[in-house]
A and B are shown apart, each in its own frame.
Chain A
Amino acid sequence: MQANRRTDPAALLPLGAGAFHILLALADGDRHGYSISKEVEESTGGTVRLGPGTLYRLLKEMLANSWIVEIESDDADDARRRNYRLTAWGRRIAQAEASRLDSLVRIARSRHLLPA
């Protein structure tokens, strides 16, 4: 069980909504905390908001499990900001969740719940 959760992303699915959104926000580049929550809010049209407590709790957990890593900030005027980067393992998890959702959407299409 323990080993599975370290090597097979499927064992971790489905992801919580917050976690998946964070992974999505980091998929196209490094971001600092506040930038992640802003990105999530914008990309969902304001329907998903990550409060700072939720955000950093999830980030801490993801760091502990090596889904993401912390990298040196290149933003000289705000040293407090720490940047986060998706690891390969984190990317695999995000992909696994995305394809899980994709297959669900395909089923929904075949049942004519969505336009083909």
Chain B
Amino acid sequence: MTDGQGIELDSVSKSYGTQVVLNSASASIAPGEFIAVIGRSGSGKSTLLKLIGGLSSADSGSIRHGPHDLAQMSESELTLFRRRSLGFVFQFFNLVPTLSVSENVQLPLALNRMAKPDALRRSADLLDRLGLSACADRLPDQLSGGEQQRVAIARALAHEPGLVITDEPTGNLDIDTADEVLSLLIESCREHRATLIMATHSRDAAERADRVLRIVNGRLEASE
């Protein structure tokens, strides 16, 4: 659904109790664009990503992926949407601990009902390109943080989604590894022509984005 189509946020608001997190936030994101979302802690970066990813619903306003308004989608449609069109890279990697590296990468393919031989081939390709072939049969807790995050990138891109959403992907890594992982993420998304939306505190990461959106008082502002 997101493939080749932009994302439109129109007057999106979200509150938790009395705390207003997003207040009539609007933005337009073009296909294949790399957007960095910055803001102070608690400013609503993660909330914005969850809303865009259909993990949470806005109180008001609309979020459109191409012609599709997330607010109008049922729970099962949202599940299908995430399964087919989105990839996630989390700060704490969140690999499935009971699956091997290769199986973690195959997981979104399996959910999309790709035939096993095809899924195996694609995961092997991805792991090879990310330099993880040697780790394919290991379990996540046998990998370093950097390796785990690279597996998470492979998993996020395996089913070739149109949009990759990532929240502080380098927040849990040392500087050198963070830089390496960030480069890999950006290159991989560009290679797959995927839109990348990244919430980050890192000035370096933000500087590499096509565009930076800052959340100030619940609103989205373009940042210089």
A complexed with B: no
Chain A residues near B (Cβ < 8 Å): none
Binding site for A on B (CB under 8 A): none
